[in-house]
Amino acid sequence: MSSPSALENGVHNKKRTAVKLGGAALFLLSFQTLGIIYSDIGTSPLYVLNGIWPASGGLPSEEDIVGGISAIIWALTLIPLIKYVFISLLFGTQEGEGGSYALYQGLYPPEDHDGDLDRTLTGDSYKVASRRSAKISERFRVPLLLWGLFGTALTIADGGFTPAVSVTSAIGGIAVAKPSVSKQITPISICILLVLFFAQRFGTAGLAFTFAPISFVWFLLLAGTGIYNITFHPAIFRAFDPSRAVMLFVRTGDYDILAGVLLCVTGCEAIFANLGQFNATSIRMSFTGFVYPALVLAYLGQGARLIADGEDVLDNIFYRTIPGPANGALFWIVFVFAILATVIASQAMITACFSLCQQLVNMKALPPLKLSYTSDTIQGQVYIPAVNWALMIFTIILVAAFSNLANLTNAYGFAVATVMFSTTVLLSVHMRWVKRWPAGVALAYFILWGFFDGLFWGASLKKVPLGAWVPLMVGVILMIIMCFWTWAKGLEDKFDGANRLNLRHFIHPDIDEKQEDEEAEEEDVDADIKEKTYHHSLDRLEDGKHPLARLQTCAVFHKITRGSGVPHTFVGFVRQWPALPRVVIFLSVSVVPIARVPVEERYAITKVRTVEGFYGVTVYLGFREELDMQTGELIDKICALEEQLDPTQRSGNVGKIRAAARSTTHIAPHYHVVSKPIYCGRISVVVNWLRTYLIEDIYRRLATMFPESGNWQNAEE
């Protein structure tokens, strides 16, 4: 029997969906994207042209400059604008999440779980949670999982490289005006990064309102200086002709130029990965209407000044092309905003890392790290302390170790190119098997964008000996960790699901319930509690029946994994303590996509009819709430249900429940994980030794360090 509120209240059936806004709210959200998503790609003008033509390499010809600017413009058009803004944003999850792992999740979606199952403890057959049929053959699951995790791992690694490259590049501009402090670039950069990471605890929304106006001014400065610089050589508009870019590579035969051009699209993956923080419409509005034009004008202006001034600006093209003298007012204004913009650029990938790790934790591909939600309206805006501090340490090590900015950008470009190619592969599969688009469309997309991504990836691959091995190593390590946790946690959850029991098969009453109810009217409630006994049959565990005394107490068993039936922890409890509490509550926690749930809508209760004193309860929490278990509040709800079922209280159940609730014990599940030997032919000994070491020595310790009860959440993703 279920409480009416469990069926009538819509909040219990809500699932997280993509953010939908309109009017002024949508415009405000679009403005916020400037402070979170685009500062990475927006700070690329600081270093792109010097990445293509280093000061040590000599001045390029006019045609080469036009060709290089053409390559930059068309790279911005084909990849961030078309591939990510207009195509990739169509492929977010139903919850509005983006990124490589979200694409995998779309191919093999999680179960559409029925919340009532969590409270189903009896029944000869349970309702089975519906699952959307797999869109693609199961034999591709593991390869696509590995590919998706690798792309996600490199995006997270990119979250460390972005702050290192962006901040160091901006601070490097001080050498233009004050060469004497050039040796202080590294310590200054580290200090700024420390401030940035310590500010993450204030949340995405707060940072976005702070950063968005700064980014807005930064893009205006890029566009304004670009327009001014174009007047020095208006013929730079020839760069809109894509043949100029093609002829550059034909004429020079220098494939390495693409590694420099690649830097202009760094941060494009943040456009997709941050989808859960905002929504597709707000991202499209801000990029196409403001960010893209500002970037194009900035690069055109830099190219025009490089043609007009030549050697005078080659050593630092961005800062040398700022209108006015090197020590002028505009120079220092741009310098200050460049530093602020690079700090914000770092925020873009840090925020993307939080969003990706949230997905991974919810899908059990990472340990259940502590999630702190920072917005009352958008569940995707989350702060993860462990990820923040790990990124901070990694970024500072990069800045200190890569004293040469050129080597740092080499490493940076490889991570970006690999993630772009990973996304292209997964999008192509998505088009065919999820969107059900014609195979020709998916193939054409893969050939076209796979060709461009492959060109960039090949150019960056040549940089592996020069520093690109770092993101590759970090990405592989992160992928191994995620694969290991997915495998080990899957084994534990499989065990838990296979060992859930039907309560009626496990415990059954020894006396007739109707007769007991009649006797209860004539006897003292406490005496009735002491005398009532139950028998139980351990059909799967041991033969025979044994009496179980009912204790005058209340026990709350917390269910971490979802599903029907009695969890295995309860079986272990009865084995060790051959007695039953008078009131037994199986408690599940479910997070719904609203910030806070009213108290009157918080509980859904199911009473077990055939075994007295057993209840299945689901506690619904908003994503910004923490579980503050108020046993008295829960007991009141159970008593209210009993009064609805038995208005005259002939059974005296309310009195029994309140008497038992005077002593309440909470039991959280914990498994002592043990590896089960498997047969693998001649290598069984080696495989079982490795399996035992991974499960019992590594996973068991990590599971203890990161208990799922840390968040007390069972998210609806």
E strand residue ranges, 507-649:
507-509, 533-537, 545-559, 579-592, 603-607, 614-622
Q: Give CA–CA dist 225/302, Å, rounded.
A: 9
User: Is residue 277 very low, low, confident or very high in pLDDT (cuts 50, 70, 90)?
Assistant: low
**pLDDT tens by residue, 10-52:** 555 555 555 566 668 788 888 888 877 887 788 889 889 988 8
User: Is residue 109 very low, low, confident or very high in pLDDT (cuts 50, 70, 90)?
Assistant: confident
φ, ψ for residue 372, nearest 5 deg? -115, 110
Position 698 pLDDT exceeds 60: yes
pLDDT of residue 93: 65
Axis crossing angle, helix 204-230 with helix 292-309, rounded to the nearest 10:
40
pLDDT of residue 229: 96
Residues facing 583 on adjacent strands = 554
Least confident range from 302-306, 317-321, 387-391, 611-615: namely 611-615
What's this model's pTM, rounded to 2 decimal places?
0.72
Position 66 pLDDT exceeds 90: yes
Q: Give CA–CA dist 442/430, Å, rounded.
A: 8
pLDDT of residue 428: 92
Contact partners, residue 246, CB within 8 Å, separation at least 6 = none
Q: What angle do CA 296, 299, 305 make, to 5 degrees?
A: 140
Single-letter code of the amino acid located at 399: V
pLDDT of residue 20: 61
Contact 557, 667 (CB under 8 A): yes
Most confident of 53-67, 174-188, 551-565, 612-626: 53-67
Q: Give CA–CA dist 393/332, Å, rounded.
A: 30
**pLDDT tens by residue, 198-234:** 887 776 556 666 778 999 999 999 999 999 999 999 9
Q: Which residue has the higher pLDDT, 187 or 112?
A: 187
Secondary structure of 17-58 in the HEC alphabet?
CCCCCCHHHHHHHHHHHHHHCCHHHHCHHHCHHHHHCCHHHC
pLDDT of residue 452: 92
Q: Which residue has the higher pLDDT, 99 or 87?
A: 87
Q: Which residue has the higher pLDDT, 402 or 146?
A: 146
**pLDDT tens by residue, 651-682:** 788 888 999 988 888 887 666 778 888 888 88
Most confident of 63-72, 280-289, 467-476, 555-564: 63-72
Position 64 pLDDT exceeds 80: yes
pLDDT of residue 65: 95
Per the prediction, the chain carries an average pLDDT of 78
pLDDT of residue 595: 61
pLDDT of residue 567: 77
The percentage of the chain sitting over the pLDDT mark of 70, rounded to a whole number, equals 77
User: Is residue 102 very low, low, confident or very high in pLDDT (cuts 50, 70, 90)?
Assistant: confident
pLDDT of residue 240: 96
Q: What is the mean pLDDT of residues 291-302?
A: 97
pLDDT of residue 370: 81
φ, ψ for residue 409, nearest 5 deg? -70, -30
Contact 350, 388 (CB under 8 A): yes
**pLDDT tens by residue, 514-536:** 444 444 444 443 333 333 444 44
Superfamily for the 36-108+146-490 domain: Amino acid/polyamine transporter I (1.20.1740.10)
Contact 673, 695 (CB under 8 A): yes
Contact partners, residue 580, CB within 8 Å, separation at least 6 = 507, 534, 548, 549, 550, 551, 574, 613
**pLDDT tens by residue, 427-471:** 999 898 888 899 999 999 999 999 999 999 888 887 777 777 888
**Domain residue ranges of the chain, discontinuous segments joined by +:** 36-108+146-490, 501-667, 670-717
Least confident range from 271-285, 345-359, 501-515: namely 501-515
- Name the 3-class secondary structure at 396: helix
Give the closest residue to 586 by CA, choosing from 608, 601, 609, 553.
608
The percentage of the chain sitting over the pLDDT mark of 90, rounded to a whole number, equals 19
